[in-house]
A = this chain, B = another copy of it.
Amino acid sequence: MTFFDALDLIGTLAFAISGALTALHKKMDPFGVLIIAFVTAVGGGTLRDVLIGRTPVGWMQDLNYLYIITLGFILVVVFRGKIHQFKLSMLLSDTIGLGVFTLIGIQKGLDYGVHPFICVSLGTMTACFGGVIRDVLCVEIPIIFRKEIYATICILGGFVFFLLKKWEFADELVYLITSLVIILVRLLAVKFKWSLPTLDLNTHP
């Protein structure tokens, strides 16, 4: 397993835990909690795989995703009253997931020969649409459509990726810098509570 694979699993675990916590707040039963953990963790990548035609989709070909999500589910069930003590490590793992998943999505786009703009869409989808599916199943308007700049950071990361590619940086460096940019901007966004303004129908120019 490479260092990058390890980061992928850390991100998957963080996404699964955050999904499971959301499901708990919706008073779901254990099966519901497990499924919400699952779709939050792999839903974005699954949607990407389906749209580009990479089937059977990723989590069917590598059981590690199933195991790590089950682990996240068990951790949440066991420690559910004490989870706030892990807030900082959760935020860090979640942010690592954001960076790694964006890169994986972009790379899959390159593998399938689509345009850089589509690659950026696939990166954003991989990182953010697990959360969208989670919110739809919990009957909430997806949070990234309302106040999280999560997705905007992935798009920014995608443009950094292709800029560095164009400047002919080595692949390792492109990966490293892109993920660091995503992680750094995300942490700054949380720290300073950055969000996009809502577009109000009455405040037109």
Please name all residues of chain B whose beta carbon is closer than 8 Å to the beta carbon of A140 when the two chains form the complex. 139
Are the C-beta atoms of B144 and A31 separated by less than 8 Å? yes
Q: Roughly how many angstroms separate A60 CA and B27 CA in the complex, as a whole number?
A: 37
Taking A25-B201, A145-B28 as contacts, is the C-beta distance between A60 and B51 under 8 angstroms? Answer: yes
Taking A138-B141, A204-B81 as contacts, is the C-beta distance between A146 and B50 under 8 angstroms? Answer: no
List CB contacts (< 8 Å) of A131-187 with chain B.
Answer: 132, 136-142, 144-147, 149, 151-152
Q: Which residue on B lies nearest to A57, using beta carbons?
A: B51
A129 to chain B, nearest CB (A): 9
Q: Does A110 contact B (CB under 8 A)?
A: no
Tell which of A5-13, A32-40, A87-95, A99-107 binds the partner. Answer: A32-40
Please name all residues of chain B whose beta carbon is closer than 8 Å to the beta carbon of A142 when the two chains form the complex. 32, 137
Q: Does A193 contact B (CB under 8 A)?
A: no
Taking A63-B117, A77-B199 as contacts, is the C-beta distance between A137 and B132 under 8 angstroms? Answer: yes
Q: Which residue on B lies nearest to A78, using beta carbons?
A: B205
Q: Does A79 contact B (CB under 8 A)?
A: yes
A residues touching B (Cβ–Cβ < 8 Å)? 23-33, 35-36, 46, 50-53, 55-57, 60-61, 63, 66, 77-82, 112, 114-115, 117-118, 121, 132, 136-142, 144-147, 149, 151-152, 195-202, 204-205
